[in-house]
Structure 1
């Protein structure tokens, strides 16, 4: 495991706490202890643990109530319930409270170590992914800082694209890739000279060629990531069109969710203020999307879903 893992052990019986501490010692963990749920919550002032191991029956605040409080603070924090109750009803209550795992007393100490180790390692992986996402978001904001008029563009495009995906009824496992792909769609602009992105004058043909390289640059930036194959379509193809008129590859089979990002990108660009024009009204921007669909560059289905998403989320009025 990376770093020192913190595990919070909550049990009102001193002997049981001592047994758990001895069992966890070989894992090299930093173990915090509390004698009931209320004390456990007070310990969180020192930071969040990587996992919580709690008894079910305790005074002041029992394990189920503690689990609910912990999950309200952090839904992904692993909580393992220890109980001598074997009844199905107890387990169902634990699941309802948000518990991630159960260990029946008397506890098999080898199993306890394996369970805790597994949950802590998954927690470290989650934190690593969160760190990566923060780094990527910082990169997006660095791109947007090159032109103050594009501040927040990536996050707005992601929001519009996710709304559209909800209307289209996409699978749950596709949503996170869509969100990250939409956030990062313009990441390649970090490699484009600032003066070409500010839009304060018409660009020459050669300058436009350089700007149009940003999807390729973005693809290259993300290539070292394990998620690259899943994020690549959004970053490389968000300027592609169904009639082959897009760039950089001129493809005609553009995935539906990539088109959702493309529609969101067009809409946000049109409705945002720029140095050279006032922002378009939502209906005016939607008319441009309808024209794109009528001319065979975007899917009619995506454009209809995009409009429905704006209505659902009260960006448009009926």
Structure 2
């Protein structure tokens, strides 16, 4: 019988200048089955973090050399998502506000309720583990994208180029930093649904049959299904599923007539890279010629004119296109 995979031990970094307090807290954490690292002050913590990161940091507020507030700030500068729990005997609201400002994720009052301590630490360990699993999944998906591109030498680097062109376009359209981050990931993953399409169809070195073309047109739906486990799924979905939609309803897979502007930025970048790239069935177009094709798409009501203007402006600003 195949055994279920076991998680590697979780590690808690315990920071307190009082040896008795460290011993008490270590014994309280024993039922969780975690590895506990000890440090007496913030400077010792920073030295330990150079080697590896723990899964949760449990730190006293008042310590010599570096207090818990400064330590929390330093930890968050290294990894903003690493959970930090502050231990304090101060019931002062001002102290808690300073802790929140420093980036603390949780607080425990001293004397510590040991049952509450275990529950709080366990909750943060579970969230950290889930975050790591999701990050692993994102890395796996990006590896799959590259696997798709390896199938066809002509599309190598397509995802990275499209992501770059898309973000340049979105910047011209006034996208926020958060939108740009989501858009970049969505653009990198936009063709992930092609992972299940046979190589000879992807290469496109002969006229596709109707059935083969129907299969190609399903890749946004397949991509949508693949990314569903991602925590960012609601934000990434429009880019994966709708990057082939057109404003006149002639796109696929849903035949939309209202397509978000940033999704159109991805569509324009995708078309631009396909037209300027080398293909077996046609010669590549010069950037100016590719932009003319996109302008014609806008004239036909398939793409917003502002998106085409923004793509051209972004290419010029980043010196990927020469001014005429």
Q: Deviations over 1:184-239 (max 9, x none)?
A: 2212323333234335x4x3251x75245334145235426345676554334322
Mapping of residues 277-288 of structure 1, within 5 Å: 277-278=283-284, 280-281=286-287, 283-288=288-293
User: Structure 1 115/235 Cα, relative in aligned 2: closer, same or farther at 3 Å?
Assistant: same
Residue of structure 1 in register with 2:3 after alignment: none
Equivalent residue, structure 2, for 1:195: 200
In structure 2, the partner of 1:32 is: 37
Q: Which moved more, 1:136-145 or 1:88-97?
A: 88-97
Over aligned residues, Cα RMSD in angstroms?
3.1
Give the equivalent residue in structure 2 for 1:10: 15
Alpha-carbon contact 1:219-1:232 (below 8 Å) kept? no
Which of the residues 259, 266, 269 maps onto 2:274? 269
Q: CA deviation at 1:277?
A: 3.0
Are residues 47 and 273 of structure 1, via their aligned partners in 2, closer, same or farther at CA, if it must alter by over 3 Å?
A: same
Match of 1:204 in 2: 207
Q: 1:272 to 1:55 in 2, by over 3 A?
A: farther
Match of 2:127 in 1: 122
TM-score under structure 1 length normalisation: 0.83
How far the C-alpha of 1:139 sits from its partner, in A, is: 0.6
Q: How does 1:1-318 map to 2 (within 5 A)?
A: 3-165=8-170, 167-168=172-173, 178-198=183-203, 201=205, 203-206=206-209, 210-211=212-213, 213-220=215-222, 222-223=224-225, 225-226=228-229, 231-274=236-279, 276-278=282-284, 280-281=286-287, 283-310=288-315, 315=320
1:138 CA drift (Å): 0.8
Aligned-partner SS, 1:33: strand
Q: Given the two structures, how large is their TM-score scaled by the length of structure 2?
A: 0.82
Deviating more after overlay: 91-100 vs 289-298: 91-100
Distance in structure 2 (CA, Å) of the matches to 1:105 and 1:87: 13
Structure-2 separation of matches of 1:3 and 1:306: 47
Asked if the contact 2:191–2:223 (Cα under 8 Å) also holds between the matched residues in 1, the reply is no
CA contact (8 A) 2:268 2:294 kept: yes
Shift of 1:134: 0.8
Cα shift at 1:36? 1.3
SS in structure 2 opposite 1:213?
helix
Q: Is the 8 A contact 1:215 1:236 kept in 2?
A: no
Structure-2 change in CA distance of 1:263 and 1:87 (3 Å): same
Equivalenced residues, count:
314
Cα offset for 1:256?
A: 3.2
Q: CA deviation at 1:17?
A: 0.6
SS in 2 for 1:103: strand
